[in-house]
Homo-oligomer: A and B are copies of this chain.
């Protein structure tokens, strides 16, 4: 029986027992398809812990819809069963008025933690950390530590790595639970503590946290400010960051809005797509105005209008190849000055070489079709030139964007095609105009 049918027939027991056999994320998926009235009734039929679980695993938008249907008091009861970082996410997406009302209703201890967490931007390390982790003193014995882990364990997101702090909550090391299990009863934590703990500052970008966890194969990374541990980021949140950033990159490269999906209504979709199209239109005007400059030349050698799109397009293709390699290198270990210089030389020679090959093939076709050898020579020259330009621009644009503190994936592609279209047209048509008597 579907979730809708269960709701319509008021089968409270059935819905409760759903949680034994169906994963919460799948229940959340079904709930996302309910209409407003059904959703309200569904939420009434769930107890607080179950509703908390469903809200936690829902997609951002569905989550806000579920929260909007709850009164402040019910929501506070539901919050009791949720992770602090998830509560902060939800509060962050609310209107300021409601957020303030909710925080004011909280117990003073919760209010302090939540207010603290709300200070960090949503996509920073502090914004995604959880405050539920295990931190012990280095003087604690293995037996005491195990007792403590038994108590706190069920409330924490991971128990394999136990953090060790001094009397001021300064992070001084970490211990593997395996070592505690193997230790003699009265051995202190200090005996098997690793002092070299990789950590991150709360204001750092979440992508940096993901990079560290990926590189060092961690199952959690502590968030540390002036030596004190504030929280940890667990690997499941890191995976969400990686997937999210991946989607953002893909969407941004294509000028699509991360928010748009199959459920987005037509009018919203039109509005989301229009701005990027207008930006592209402006760059298209720029390239087109170059063509306009050479109208007289084209009028005399109409073949140029067919050839010019090949030159501009191939420059763009060559540039995209370079750009994707550079964007990847930037996101991994960065690109230093010396590497950039070496790559520049490679792009110039590589672009020239591939330009010669691609240009020669194109020239051959042009000579066969238009029976003009000089036109072939001009095609080769323009192709070599534009493919070198593509390679160089594909290298420099993302490097410069990164240097300016921008996301290289965001705007690289539109700058690149502007360069290769405009200069591609200019090269071919300029050469054609200069040698007009030979190709007419």
* A interface residues (Cβ-Cβ under 8 A, vs B): 20-21, 23, 25, 29, 57, 146, 149-150, 153-154, 158-160, 177-178, 181-182, 196, 198, 213-217, 219, 235-236, 238-240, 242-243, 246-247, 249-251, 253-256, 260-262, 266, 269-270, 273-274, 276-278, 280-281, 284-285, 287-289, 291-292, 295, 298-299, 302-310, 312-314, 317-318, 320-325, 327-329, 333, 335, 339, 342-343, 346, 349-350, 353-354, 357-358, 361-362, 365, 369, 417, 421, 425
Which residues of B sit under 8 angstroms from A323, Cβ to Cβ? 254
Closest residue of chain B to A321 (Cβ to Cβ) is B256
User: Among the listed B236, B246, B329, which residue makes an inter-chain contact with A217, where contact means beta carbons less than 8 Å apart?
Assistant: B236
Which residues of chain B are near A150, meaning CB under 8 Å? Answer: 181-182
Report the bound CA distance from A99 to B21 in whole Å: 45
Task: State A235–B237 Cα separation when bound (angstroms).
Answer: 12
| A318/B277 in contact, CB under 8 A | yes
Q: With A302-B295, A325-B260, A328-B247 in contact, is A309–B421 under 8 Å at CB?
A: yes
Residues on B with C-beta less than 8 A from A298 are: 298, 302, 305
Q: How far is the CA of A56 from the CA of B361 in the complex (A)?
A: 45
Whether A346 contacts B269 by the Cβ 8 Å rule is: yes
Contacts of A304 in B (CB 8 A): 305
Q: Smallest distance from the beta carbon of A424 to chain B beta carbons, Å?
A: 10
Quick check: A361 and B273 within 8 Å, CB to CB? no
Q: Offer 19 A-B interface pairs, CB within 8 angstroms, sorted by A.
A: A23-B196, A57-B217, A150-B182, A153-B178, A219-B219, A235-B236, A254-B321, A255-B320, A256-B322, A269-B346, A270-B350, A270-B353, A273-B350, A277-B314, A284-B314, A288-B307, A288-B309, A304-B305, A308-B309
Known: A280-B313, A302-B298, A365-B285. A239 touches B239 (CB 8 A): yes
- Note all chain B residues with C-beta closer than 8 A to A20: 196
The residue of chain B having its C-beta at the shortest distance from the C-beta of A181 within the complex is: B150
Known contacts: A324-B250, A343-B262. The answer to whether A214 contacts B235 by CB under 8 A is no
Residue of B nearest to A249 (CB): B250
A413 to B78, CA, bound (A): 46
Give the residue of B153, B305, B343 whose beta carbon is less than 8 angstroms from that of A305: B305
CA distance A272 to B20 in the complex (A): 52
Taking CB as reference atom, which chain B residue is nearest A352?
A: B270
Contacts of A322 in B (CB 8 A): 256
In the assembled complex, which residues on chain B have CB atoms less than 8 Å from the CB atom of A295?
302-303, 305-306
